[in-house]
Amino acid sequence: MGKILRRTFLVGTGVIAGGLAVGFYTGFRPHENPLEAGLADGESTFNPFVRIDAGGKIHVIVPRAEMGQGVTTTLAALVAEELGVGLSAVEVEHGPAAGAYYNSVMLEESGPYPVFAKTLLAETTRALSGATGRLLGLQVTGGSSSVRDAFEKMRHAGAVARYLLLQAASEEMGEAVPDLLIEGTEVVSASGERVSLGVIGPKAALIKPPSDLALKDPSEWTLLGKPQQRTDLLAKVTGAPIFGIDTDLPNMVYGTVRMSPRLGAGIRSFDMAAAEAMPGVIKIVRMDTQTGTGFGVIAENTWAAFQAARAIDVEWEDAPYPDDTNAIMEVFRGRLDSGAAGSSYRDDGDVEAAFADAPADLVLTADYEVPYLAHAAMEPMNATAWLRDGKLDIWAPNQAPTVIQTVCAGIAGIDAQDVAVNTTYLGGGFGRRGEVDFSIYATLMAMNSDGRPVKVTWTREEDTSHDTYRPAAAGRFRARVDADGAVEALDMRIATPSIIKSVGRRTFPSLPTGGPERLLTEGAFDQPYTIPNYRVTGVETEMPVPVGFWRSVGYSFNGYFHESFLDEIAEKTGQDPIEMRIRLMSAHPEAVMVMKKLAQISGWARRLPDGRAKGVAFTLSFGSYVGEVVQVAQTPSGIRVEKVWAVADVGRALDPGIVKSQIESGIVFGLSSALGQEITISDGRVEQQNFYDYDAMRIHQCPEFEVVILENAETIGGVGEIGTPPSIPALANAIYALTGERIRTMPLGNHIAFT
């Protein structure tokens, strides 16, 4: 056990090491309430999630990044529910960067176990990893973890606030607590007397809360479990300046960056005289950083900065990786050919023996490949920084404020507590905004702007060609079936780079990262299927193209690998793909119920007219069980994705409206990649530049949706990413059913024409 525990600790090493520097300052002691320091006169706070202003308004701090997934609604509802007020009664804020806002759930599932593994070892690993997040004060939005992480803490924060406010009001008003009610900005008594929360708040803050406050039973919930109106709607339909790119500060200057297009390569020679002489240009800064080398242009306006950046004459050094996509993929293929050992997080039965005596006609083999992908969030990367009097302020749409705080303090040579990170609304994140590059560049430019704030906006071209990409991967799979169709053995080898190491190298370059990693094979090793001889091996592949977290991470490609190959097995053995899956997942009733429901709502058994076909796939990810059926049709202008049915067991849907839109959103994201997205490299540079060559699904391509949410699973699952993994194989399998062509490399659009 000792040996394995050591290994599992290493699994999350990247993340743990990534947080270490943060933890050095903020960990190893209880996290303080960061709201206390900023309280104005007459304001009060009882915990890091609730602040009452002098006018009695309740402010709820939602310390996770709102990037469209609805956290500012659902997390605020957790607090409001226990406070006993409506959502419209509270003001929602992102709050400061602080260790108190640690995310422990995100790390919990970083070990080598499927989510359903409940062994002592698996549970111990979860507890240890979760505690690490807390210890290090890691404030991160990711891993579809926000609701799971907040579910207890934020309801508790609401319950404490309610207890204290009513207790203080009871003393103030001379009425018994059961006769009191919080209404808007006041406490109201049964006799109709009112007192402002602004008056009560400071008194309430002096009372010591009991340690054993009971939370409401779900049957008493009035907000949770029901669709709410999103708290960010009004701002978003009126075009309010809420995004990072809208930041406006007194005396502000504007900027952009031009970084080496050969990622990780330096500058051979340059001449910026012409650029410097252009109208509106204030200064051009050379930047040599842990995330890239290039130039920052400071100007009177963004457009002038864009023009000047283009005008810098520069020759870049060679890329640290092979020059073009094919040479890069050859490295992945070579890893599969090499017989490298890799790490097998699933290794049931005796796979080698099962294949050793297998007759050739009962063995199925296939090679699959997926490309690098960009995030292409709608809001291009940007950050605003202001350095004055030894203090640095950063405004950025970001997913990891405490990491930015630590890293940018290092860049500016000041203490982390002198760096304030203001999290704006995010125009999409999808994992890209957990990175530090945009904040590093803004910080460096702020160090060169004479004390003026500088807003640094990347061009779309810079954003697309300097992403931290979803890694490419190559897979080699084989299956052995027996004469009556049973799956005897399944063996999957997947070659792909380590995301954790790539992130670690550019975020905390001085800290080591190591150990095997679940991201290589998540989506393949951790699925609820029982096969007597079943092995999934991740073969880590060294490749210095920067890679990062892309909505659903490893699930985004392993889901395709696993579920498309299962479809091949069903085809070979003449089984119905849903029935076969149900047989293989019989040990997991939640999964079976998902597939049965899916068969029912999609009319799976019904025959379709010629020119139409359906495909199915299932992926368990982030604790949620998700099955999807995609229907495609042959039309005169190409293949059209007509409809998608999805069934998701998320354990508990705290806001069914938001859950449904997140699932649809995840599906559009996955289908977009399958239709035509691909990042390719030529001459060491990313070829794609903008939406004209890296597009996503448009309204006329968007299918109809039917989504059913189930709540059978024991624990709450994530929702932000779970729609994506099964959508890709379900589409590929539908294309096979329609055309008879089995497409084993993404994107599908390279092989067939879509509308």
Interaction between residue 143 and ligand FES (CB under 6 A): no
Least CB distance from residue 376 to ligand FES, whole Å?
10
Least CB distance from residue 659 to ligand FES, whole Å?
17
Least CB distance from residue 119 to ligand FES, whole Å?
40
* Helices marked H in 112-213: 120-135, 146-173, 197-204
Least CB distance from residue 454 to ligand FES, whole Å?
22
**CA nearest to 141, candidates 399, 395, 509:** 399
Least CB distance from residue 429 to ligand FES, whole Å?
10
Site for other proteins in 405-444 (CB under 8 A): 425-430
Site for other proteins in 676-705 (CB under 8 A): 690-692, 695-700, 702, 704-705
The Cα-based distances of 731 to 51, 371, 700, 738 in angstroms read 48, 17, 17, 10
> In terms of CB distance, is 222 or 301 closer to other proteins?
301
Least CB distance from residue 698 to other proteins, whole Å?
5
Q: Rounded distance, CA 313 to CA 298, Å?
A: 17
| CA-angle at 582, arms to 576 and 586, nearest 5° | 150
Interaction between residue 667 and other proteins (CB under 8 A): yes
Rule CB under 8 A: choose which of 657, 708, 739, 752 binds other proteins: 657
The item of ligand FES, other proteins, none sharing an interface with residue 249, based on CB under 5 to 8 Å by kind, is: none
> In terms of CB distance, is 176 or 378 closer to ligand FES?
378
12-46 burial by CB neighbour count: b if 16+ within 10 A, else e?
bbbbbbbbbbbbebbbeeebebbbeeebeeebbbb
Bond into 747 cis (ω within 30): yes
Interaction between residue 380 and ligand FES (CB under 6 A): no
**CA nearest to 433, candidates 512, 503, 494, 533:** 503
Least CB distance from residue 61 to ligand FES, whole Å?
23
> In terms of CB distance, is 377 or 746 closer to other proteins?
377
Interface map 372-391 toward other proteins (x if CB under 8 A): ----xxxxx-----------
Q: Under a CB-based contact definition with an 8 Å cutoff, are residues 618 and 37 in contact?
A: no
Q: Rounded distance, CA 481 to CA 754, Å?
A: 34
Q: Under a CB-based contact definition with an 8 Å cutoff, are residues 484 and 501 in contact?
A: no
Write the DSSP string, 62-99: --S--SSS-HHHHHHHHHHHHHT--GGGEEEE-----G
Q: Which residue has the tokens 């905390």?
A: 508
Total binding residues toward other proteins, as defined by CB under 8 A: 63
Interface map 617-636 toward ligand FES (x if CB under 6 A): --------------------
The Cα-based distances of 40 to 44, 92, 187, 225 in angstroms read 8, 18, 21, 35
Rg (C-alpha) for the chain, rounded Å, is: 27
Give the binding range for other proteins (CB under 8 A) out of 24-32, 63-71, 128-136, 622-630: 63-71
Chain-centre distance of CA 463, in angstroms?
A: 18
> In terms of CB distance, is 379 or 590 closer to other proteins?
379
Give φ, ψ of 473 to 5 degrees. -155, 150
Least CB distance from residue 198 to other proteins, whole Å?
27
Site for other proteins in 239-258 (CB under 8 A): 239, 241-243, 245-246, 248, 254
Rule CB under 8 A: choose which of 108, 517, 568, 664 binds other proteins: 664
Tokens of 305: 């900065």
Rule CB under 6 A: choose which of 14, 137, 294, 428 binds ligand FES: 428
DSSP secondary structure letter of residue 402:
H
The item of ligand FES, other proteins, none sharing an interface with residue 145, based on CB under 5 to 8 Å by kind, is: none
- CA max distance for the chain: 86
Interaction between residue 234 and other proteins (CB under 8 A): yes
Q: Which residue is nearest to ligand FES (CB)?
A: 378
**CA nearest to 99, candidates 153, 160, 30:** 30
Name the 3-class secondary structure at 745.
strand
Give the binding range for other proteins (CB under 8 A) out of 202-210, 437-445, 455-463, 620-628: 455-463
**CA nearest to 470, candidates 728, 294, 664, 245:** 728
Interaction between residue 68 and ligand FES (CB under 6 A): yes
Name the 3-class secondary structure at 437.
helix
The item of other proteins, ligand FES, none sharing an interface with residue 239, based on CB under 5 to 8 Å by kind, is: other proteins
Interface map 295-314 toward other proteins (x if CB under 8 A): ------xxx--x--------
**CA nearest to 522, candidates 725, 748, 229, 280:** 725
Indicate the pairing of strand 624-635 with strand 638-649: antiparallel
Q: Under a CB-based contact definition with an 8 Å cutoff, are residues 438 and 383 in contact?
A: yes
**What is the edge-to-edge ordering of all strands in the sheet holding 612-621?**
612-621, 624-635, 638-649, 704-710
| Residue 368: strand pairing partners | 475
> In terms of CB distance, is 68 or 676 closer to ligand FES?
68
Rule CB under 8 A: choose which of 316, 669, 736, 754 binds other proteins: 669
Interaction between residue 277 and other proteins (CB under 8 A): no
User: End-to-end distance of the chain based on CA atoms, in angstroms?
Assistant: 55
Rule CB under 8 A: choose which of 58, 62, 67, 373 binds other proteins: 67
Interaction between residue 37 and ligand FES (CB under 6 A): no
* Helices marked H in 380-451: 401-412, 437-446
Tokens of 484: 């009556």
Least CB distance from residue 56 to other proteins, whole Å?
25
**CA nearest to 405, candidates 429, 375, 440, 452:** 440
> In terms of CB distance, is 429 or 523 closer to ligand FES?
429
Q: Where are the beta strands (DSSP E) in 453-607?
A: 454-457, 473-481, 487-496, 533-540
Interaction between residue 726 and ligand FES (CB under 6 A): no
Q: Cβ-count burial of 674 within 10 angstroms (0-12 exposed, 13-18 middle, 19+ buried)?
A: buried
The item of other proteins, ligand FES, none sharing an interface with residue 544, based on CB under 5 to 8 Å by kind, is: none
Least CB distance from residue 279 to ligand FES, whole Å?
23
Least CB distance from residue 595 to other proteins, whole Å?
24
Least CB distance from residue 743 to other proteins, whole Å?
23
> In terms of CB distance, is 379 or 522 closer to ligand FES?
379
**CA nearest to 434, candidates 449, 421, 451, 445:** 421
Total binding residues toward ligand FES, as defined by CB under 6 A: 3
The item of ligand FES, other proteins, none sharing an interface with residue 234, based on CB under 5 to 8 Å by kind, is: other proteins
Least CB distance from residue 19 to ligand FES, whole Å?
29
> In terms of CB distance, is 232 or 488 closer to other proteins?
232
Name the 3-class secondary structure at 755.
coil
Least CB distance from residue 235 to other proteins, whole Å?
7
Least CB distance from residue 234 to ligand FES, whole Å?
15
Rule CB under 6 A: choose which of 177, 190, 378, 587 binds ligand FES: 378
Least CB distance from residue 428 to ligand FES, whole Å?
5
Q: Which residues bind ligand FES (CB under 6 A)?
A: 68, 378, 428
Residues that bind other proteins (CB under 8 A): 66-70, 229-230, 232-239, 241-243, 245-246, 248, 254, 279-280, 301-303, 306, 376-380, 425-430, 457, 459-460, 657, 661, 664-669, 672, 690-692, 695-700, 702, 704-705
